[in-house]
Chains A and B, each alone.
Chain A
């Protein structure tokens, strides 16, 4: 089984989908000749030609709109936005058209929109956001947030197969930092199934994306103190694995929700509400959230560090929960 970075796994999965199914094509700013802003589609133009690897104008609404139209006509577009931050430009097409088309007209919109998201490298307020929570509020969209190379590839295959519009949030900070063995052959990872990143008994952390690794480091610190932390990686937020979260909470009775996005109306609020509704009688402490403060993301490295939840923040929140 070859070792791949998170980025290579996405690239490998995408190439496999294009080889497997002629309807699959990519489009986006600089995805062709340049190979993509982060080089996910390097070599794609050479292999699949300009009809299936399309450089788009600098307009997210054009990309989302064309992808929606192509999907309506039976193709399987995998469109790329250079940064997830600019998805706001495409909001109307995604929310008003793509998400509601099947409900309104019965025509499926099998598009995948790749959205490089997340901070940690001083990208500032326009190139560091994690806007996945906003879209979980829109019925008709599916939201995918892989944390591992293996999931990145398998979830991309599932996204391409899915008949609904799928927003695929790939975390930029994981691109070249995270490496793991990834199967060469094609496989899929189901939506709505969480992954136990680390099993434990005393407290549960529910998270996704890059924060999985922050949680894991904190759990490693706490292990030395005799505290056993269970980390659930949700992998997809829409649908999300309520059952896995409820079962873990039933076991540990203490829940920390960790996300990189800002706190208010972040997806953690939804998880907390659901657990309070369905697992109230299993709770032994208040549900706790660790998330970014409600501000734009600062450029300054020390400020960005203060903004994005760090290992120490998670560890001290976990200690508080355990001591409660």
Chain B
């Protein structure tokens, strides 16, 4: 076995702040053929689960890191013998016969312990309970008990590994540390005796362990309120022009591009445009300095199943996208967010967030800023309202118009009210006077 005849598969760098990943499942077994870009294994980081494609055509020669193992980025996790090398077309001198054949025998001799559970499906009561409370998929936990059974210790070790990995990644500095200590998720679950539990329970109450995502959201929301000086302003926007353009473009977008044109896309495009002139809203407070940017990484809040969870994927360099590009990006990211197929970089590095509760009929809100950003725009429901308009002669009349409220929460540490409302006025103007040529 020499290096040239093998291609190493390494734990990929899934994002700047991701330092390690856990091998969830090998999709190929040793000795199996694989094609370049064909999914080879599934990995999990603190942010997302994803598949890792094969780097080349060839044979998966050896699995170095087993399911359930957590390894640093760059660690060799498997060796692939490329097809051309295997066929002797590598252009390299053939290896001495003994060495070449040893590669094969060695690979075959590598004993892969039974996969999770080793086919034994017995789950002890305590393991079943903890797995349910912590929302752990037991098939991902390597078992050390009799017949490969997952023991309580295996499970607790697994939970501790994943929690500490998550904590480590999250604590990578993105912003100045928030004042007030962060509450770390507790790694050692507390076990109640039935007596304690009975004392605590009131008839009619039900207890349920929070998921890791829920704990993360809770921590993030609290930290934001502890960090930013939140203030919210609300603007009414007459969406008549946008409605008219959307009605016209919608069939074309869907038919030609397969993209659903939503009001959110218009608001997102108009927001990116307005941020050019109000750069602090796309900025960040870092210590005693203000960071501004020549790009907009637009975060879009996406509610997950049963509205129990939230993920905020990022449209990178949104300033370079036209209406179609933004609509496509929103559709792609939200679909993949719900399918849990985002990669970690896609949920990091946002500079401004848009949240869209209007889809559920909400008309006003005071959103919490997504740290370390300084503002979040809340897109509310489009509703028909009687409004006073002035005709060409300056006479007032009441008309029915599709109106939408836009709410902006901003961090008053950096953004003064006058700055925020001027941005909002420009955003409103962008929407009310939508310029098809420009957007």
Contact = CB atoms under 8 A, between A and B. Distances in A.
Interface string A236-258: 00000001001100110100000
Contact of B193 (A243, A253, A284, A285): A243
A38 interface: no
A274 to B, nearest CB: 10
Interface stretch (A116-124, A179-187, A263-271, A275-283): A275-283
A284 B127 contact: yes
Interface string B110-131: 0000000000000011111100
Contacts of B146: 323-324
A115 B193 CA distance: 35
B195 A284 contact: no
Contacts of A282: 125-126, 129, 191
A250 B146 CA distance: 21
Nearest to B147: A324
Nearest to B129: A281
A285 B147 CA distance: 13
Nearest to B198: A278
A309 B150 CA distance: 31
Contacts of B177: none
A250 B156 CA distance: 13
Contacts of B269: none
B151 interface: yes
Contact of B124 (A246, A278, A285): A285
A247 B193 contact: yes
Nearest to A280: B125
B113 to A, nearest CB: 15
B203 interface: no
Nearest to B155: A284
B192 interface: yes
B37 to A, nearest CB: 43
Contacts of A283: 124-126
B149 A324 contact: yes
B214 to A, nearest CB: 22
B158 to A, nearest CB: 14
Contacts of B193: 243, 246-247, 250, 278-279
Interface string A212-252: 00000000000000000000000000000001001100110
A53 to B, nearest CB: 45
A246 B195 contact: yes
Given A284-B151, A323-B145, A278 B126 contact: no
Nearest to B150: A284
B152 A284 contact: yes
Size class of the B contact interface (CB-based, 8 Å):
10 to 19
B179 interface: no
A253 B152 CA distance: 8
A253 B126 contact: yes
A18 B205 CA distance: 55
A87 B126 CA distance: 42
A324 B126 contact: no
Interface in B378-394: none
B141 to A, nearest CB: 13
Contacts of A281: 125-126, 128-129
A324 B145 contact: yes
A322 to B, nearest CB: 9
Nearest to B128: A281
B358 to A, nearest CB: 44
Contacts of B125: 280-284
Nearest to B146: A324
A284 B124 contact: yes
A281 B194 CA distance: 10
A276 to B, nearest CB: 9
Contacts of B145: 323-324
A243 B192 CA distance: 11
A279 B194 contact: yes
Contacts of B124: 253, 283-285
Contacts of B192: 250
A187 B291 CA distance: 72
A254 to B, nearest CB: 8
A278 B195 CA distance: 8
A278 B191 CA distance: 13
Contacts of A324: 145-146, 149, 151
Contacts of A285: 124
B142 to A, nearest CB: 16
Between B128, B192, B194, the greatest number of chain A beta carbons within 10 A of the residue's beta carbon is seen for B194
A283 B125 CA distance: 6
Nearest to A202: B153
B136 to A, nearest CB: 15
Sorted nearest first, the 8 A-B pairs with minimum C-beta distance are A284-B152, A250-B191, A281-B129, A278-B194, A246-B193, A284-B124, A284-B126, A253-B126
24 contacts: A243-B195, A246-B193, A246-B194, A247-B193, A250-B192, A250-B193, A251-B191, A278-B194, A278-B195, A279-B193, A279-B194, A280-B125, A281-B125, A281-B128, A282-B125, A282-B129, A283-B124, A283-B125, A284-B152, A285-B124, A323-B145, A324-B145, A324-B149, A324-B151
